[in-house]
Structure 1
Amino acid sequence: MDMVRSLLSQNSVSHNMWLYAILYVMIIRNRIVTSAKPGGQTPYELMFNKKPSVDLYRVFGCLCFTMEAKH
């Protein structure tokens, strides 16, 4: 919950976005290595047997985010 509070306060986001902050933190936590997992794998790797993609990381709480088109 500390990560959720940090996202909300750091980006000056309304507390109405609490649920979205929780979901975003869950995505982040499932894609980072923890010492509790064997072999330095992420929870995502253990479940799906592949490296997680970081393509869906965005700046939390920004009004607009532009992306370069992939060809």
Structure 2
Amino acid sequence: MSKRKSTTFRLDERVIDAITKAAKLSNSSKNRYIETLFVKHCQGLGILPLDFEPLGETRGGDTTGKEED
């Protein structure tokens, strides 16, 4: 089972600001926005298969729709 792994990048503040704005325009979190860009880029390079799908949203706990009694 795949899971997300945390890592740190040091980026120019202007790049971080641009990512923040772009993510808001896409109605995404910064993390989700960056992940989507990296997936598309790696698919274009042939590193990831074209049918690769990132992991689903994990914020807010279990969203599988299970009803509790």
Q: Is the TM value for this pair above 0.5?
A: no
The TM-score with structure 1 as length reference comes to: 0.36
Question: By percentage of residues, which structure has more helix?
Answer: 1
